[in-house]
Amino acid sequence: MTDDIEQILVTSLDRRAASPVDTIQLAATAARRGRGLRHRRYAIAAASLVAVATVGAFGVTALSPRAGGGQAVGSGTPEKTRTAEPEGNDPTPPPGGWNVPQLPAASGVPGAAAAPNLVGADPGTLHFTVDGLASSESVTWETGPGVESISFDHGEWTAQITLARDPARLDTVTRSHLVEEFSWPEPETRNVTVGGVPATFYVHDGAQFDVSYLRWQPVSGVWAQVWGPDNAADAAEVASRLRLDAAYRCVLPIRIAALPSKAKLLGCKVGLTGDEVTDVKGASTRLSEAIVTVGVNDNEAKVRVTRRLGLPTTPDMSLQGHPANMTKNDRREWLIVAPDFDGVDIELSGRGAYDYPELTVIGEGITVDGDLRDPATWPTKLVG
């Protein structure tokens, strides 16, 4: 039998790989995601372009508005059934256009313009916003060590604006976008201005992908970065939409009652869709993904919340009475997955010294609360 090991391998691989593939859908999805990466077709309103993007010595002197006007608002498009799984696969906006809800305002908290020292200091708060977020197909707000960011889609392109007091933090964010190892060759730089403030557009010409981003200091003590657009003019236009005059709470539809000893909130991420989608059980939601990171030093746990995706799991434990599955990865780190945990999928993962007991403490204290379509109804505190 073992003499036929290669033949068994061949038949095993053949059988495992075989099943139909929808190449039409694949091509459409890949092309759309590719356009999102390239951003070349972003239509810019001429007026805003003139107002904000002064592009100098590198030859990008003018842009022409393109058909579509940059508004991803449908006009009489027949309503379609939107399902949870093909997120991002169907860019057709609903009849009323995309409408991403804003996060709740952090009352009494100043924006980055008034308090630049607060940027990146509180993982529960973002000290800026971006004009036009509501008409995006989806928006993701995120905080982490020393950084705050907002990512948004608009039709065929996506962009991310990140604030940090330390520009090295922005490097970390940029690297997180890269699928492959990146050698960081010396970049080309281009000087532009954003609202009259000098900015630099960097282009690293990688072996397989270019990496480009725009950086500037919108106020003293705060660095900003636009990631996504592959040309200085588009990046500058995106940058012009930065608003530093308000603060917003990063909220999730869960609350964590208890943390391991000395642990604190380290990061928050929440993604919302511009239209209601249905999860696998038919419930309406705007939640795409949300993550809370808690911990201390290098020990941390992440609680990931998504709408119900019908995860294939084999229950071998329970979390507050909900069937769950626990596994360890190659670094012996725990992962607990609880599908359909009071209307959402919950995933807990631990790093460093955070092991099963710590994850259990966190998991046993999770409460799902609020309308998944409306972040205004979500708990005001992530932890405690």
Partner 1 sequence: MTFEEYVHARGAALVRFARLLTGDDHRADDLVQEVLAKAYVRWRRISSADRPDVYVRRMLVNGNTSWWRRRSNRELSVAEVADRPSGADLGTNASERDFMWRLVTRLPPRQRAVLVLRYYEDLDDATIAEILDCSPVTVRTTALRALAILRDRYRAFEPIMGGNRD
- Return residues touching partner 1 (CB under 8 A): 1-2, 5-6, 8-21, 23-24, 26-27, 29-38, 179-181, 208-210, 230, 312-314, 325, 327-331, 333, 335, 349, 351
What is the DSSP secondary-structure string of 326-343? EEE-TT--EEEEEEEETT
Those residues with Cβ within 8 angstroms of residue 60's Cβ, 6 or more apart along the chain or in another chain: 190, 231, 232, 233
Task: Give least dist CB 195 to partner 1, A.
Answer: 29
Task: Give least dist CB 12 to partner 1, A.
Answer: 4
Task: Give least dist CB 25 to partner 1, A.
Answer: 9
> What is the C-alpha end-to-end distance of the chain, expressed in Å?
60
Task: Give least dist CB 181 to partner 1, A.
Answer: 7
Nearer to partner 1, 16 or 262 (CB): 16
Task: Give least dist CB 23 to partner 1, A.
Answer: 4
Nearer to partner 1, 15 or 262 (CB): 15
Residue 17 sits at φ, ψ, to 5 deg, of: -80, -25
Nearer to partner 1, 249 or 302 (CB): 302
- State the residue for tokens 């095993």: 12
What is the C-alpha to C-alpha distance for residues 264 and 356, in angstroms, rounded to an integer?
18
Please list the alpha-helical segments (H only) found in 53-91: none
For the chain, the residue count is 384
Nearer to partner 1, 165 or 177 (CB): 177
The DSSP symbol for 77 reads P
Nearer to partner 1, 39 or 241 (CB): 39
Nearer to partner 1, 122 or 358 (CB): 358
Strands 138-144 and 264-278: what pairing? Answer: antiparallel
Task: Give least dist CB 168 to partner 1, A.
Answer: 20
Nearer to partner 1, 24 or 168 (CB): 24
Nearer to partner 1, 127 or 308 (CB): 308
Task: Give least dist CB 4 to partner 1, A.
Answer: 9
The DSSP symbol for 380 reads S
- State the residue for tokens 């508005």: 65
**Token duo for residue 205:** 């010409």
Nearer to partner 1, 117 or 327 (CB): 327
317-to-91, 314, 321, 338, 343 alpha-carbon distances in Å: 39, 9, 9, 9, 18
Q: How many CB atoms lie within 10 A of CB 40?
A: 13
CB 236 within 8 A of CB 55: yes
340-to-303, 366, 368 alpha-carbon distances in Å: 14, 13, 11
The DSSP symbol for 104 reads P
Task: Give least dist CB 151 to partner 1, A.
Answer: 16
Task: Give least dist CB 166 to partner 1, A.
Answer: 23
